Amino acid sequence: MRTIPANRLTAVRTVIACGLSFMALGLAASAQAQAPAAPAATAPPANTMNPQELVENSAKRMLAELDKNRPMYAKDPAKLDDLVANVLLPNFDTEYSARLVLGQTWRTATPDQRKRFVDAFYHSLLRNYGNALLNFTADRFVVLPYKGDPSDTTATVRTEVKKSTGESVPVNFSLRKTDTGWKAWDVVIEGISYVKSFRTDFGAEIQQKGLDEVINRLETDGKVRSAAPGTGN
């Protein structure tokens, strides 16, 4: 993935965590759909929300639940994974993102390889970035006014994430209109698209090692985290 300046890394990790489902891209697999529902504020039907409302509502529900039970999630990473799966993932166009990340490889992959890839990718991202959510608070996330046309089929929702220094990092969410409402499919942090970055990285690795080897690595990297008393690891 493209190198990010060291002084930006902490803020970017927090952003990645907030948009985790975005990067998780496939995480739509049935295993996620069957995850136990996490307690969170009731949301209006997703298909009635415009792009800005979708992003804002998801963030508010996530932050409200974290504020209520932050110590619990710090002690039990598996519950944090479930929270992300139930609050954020339903609002992302997972299959579309996964196809873009794998590119031509998606066309030749078997249904089983596709399912394993998106599920393993999701868990790998949670394993690497999930703990950053524990330090994410409402005052650090601002959704800017949406300027799109209601008849559009694609949209960009602009947001800003504030660093501890007060500096703001621009974060743009890309969405597309589907039969079930607006769905997000990419996040662009300081001009860097994570779908494009992951596509470049995975493309090179798949060419060298093959898709199955890449999937095996992701599955190992993203093994379900166990709770460790007093830690978030």
Would you place residue 233 in the very low, low, confident or very high pLDDT band (cuts 50, 70, 90)? Answer: very low
The structure's pTM equals 0.72
Q: What is the pLDDT of residue 47?
A: 65
Q: What is the pLDDT of residue 122?
A: 75
Cβ(80)–Cβ(227) below 8 Å: no
Residue 223 has pLDDT above 80, yes or no: no
Which uninterrupted H or E stretch holds 90? none
> pLDDT tens digits for 143-160?
899 888 888 999 999 988
Tell me how far apart the alpha carbons of residues 89 and 96 are, in angstroms, rounded to a whole number. 13
Q: What is the pLDDT of residue 41?
A: 44
Q: What is the pLDDT of residue 156?
A: 95
Distances (CA, A) of 140 to 106, 148, 204: 36, 24, 35
Would you place residue 208 in the very low, low, confident or very high pLDDT band (cuts 50, 70, 90)? Answer: very high
Cβ(91)–Cβ(173) below 8 Å: no
> pLDDT tens digits for 25-51?
223 222 233 333 344 444 555 567 899
Q: What is the pLDDT of residue 35?
A: 36
Q: What is the pLDDT of residue 46?
A: 56
Tell me how far apart the alpha carbons of residues 144 and 22 are, in angstroms, rounded to a whole number. 19
> pLDDT tens digits for 101-136?
999 999 999 999 999 998 888 777 777 666 677 777
